[in-house]
Amino acid sequence: MFLPPDLASIREFRRALRQSLEENTFASRDIQQIELAADEALTNSISANYNSSSEETIICRWIVNDSKFTLWIVDYGSGLKKEKIEEQMTEAKPSSLQDFLKKVKTYQEGKCEVLPHRGKPTQHKNLGKGLLIMQSLMDSVKIMYHCGEGRISSDPNDTSIRGSIIELGFDSKKHAL
């Protein structure tokens, strides 16, 4: 799926993703988790493109193989910085959903960013804890970078980064009741 770096793209993406997961008989609860994590990843990619003044198309691709779901989102931003990744990866996971939501709300109250919505710059408050949300909802989160000469790197300090590749993995068998 090819999407413009605009918040309006999220609706189309979620619709297609939901339809695919329903067709593959994923449980409603699992679909909601995957949708939220995927939404966060796409929002991060839109932000990355916008903040890098890139109007390049964002590429979203997913595969469903039995109970396993894998999503890749490719953007053309500057790449997630090492400090941001380390901060998010080492942050203690909240003990409950309520603690998590409280933490996100507190963080968001002090942060707002301008992102495009239907081509117009729009205040968007829901930023800042996307990586933590993805980690909390998915079985795996991998961050890679596409670099010059078609290379893929896992080094956030690579000097030829042209954008990020976020890979999300989910196995519904691990979450069956």
48, pLDDT greater than 60: yes
Fold of 2-174: Heat Shock Protein 90 (3.30.565)
Give residue 123's identity as a one-letter amino acid code.
Q
Residue 129 confidence (pLDDT): 66
pLDDT digits (tens, 9 = 90+) for 119-146: 887 776 655 567 888 888 999 999 999 9
CA angle, corner 44, sides to 37 and 115, nearest 5? Answer: 125
- Pairwise CA distance, residues 148 & 104, whole Å: 35
Q: Quote the mean pLDDT of the chain.
A: 85
Domain ranges of the chain: 2-174
Taking the model in full, what pTM does it have? 0.80
CA-to-CA dists, residue 171 to 42, 67, 121, 128, 176, angstroms:
20, 5, 37, 26, 9
Tokens in use for 57? Answer: 């198309």
What's the pLDDT band for 87 if we cut at 50, 70, 90?
Answer: low
What is the C-alpha to C-alpha distance for residues 170 and 34, in angstroms, rounded to an integer? Answer: 7
**DSSP one-letter code for 139:** S
Strands 113-117, 140-147: pairing is unpaired
Lowest mean pLDDT among 28-37, 52-61, 72-81, 108-117: 108-117
Residue 3 sits at φ, ψ, to 5 deg, of -130, 140
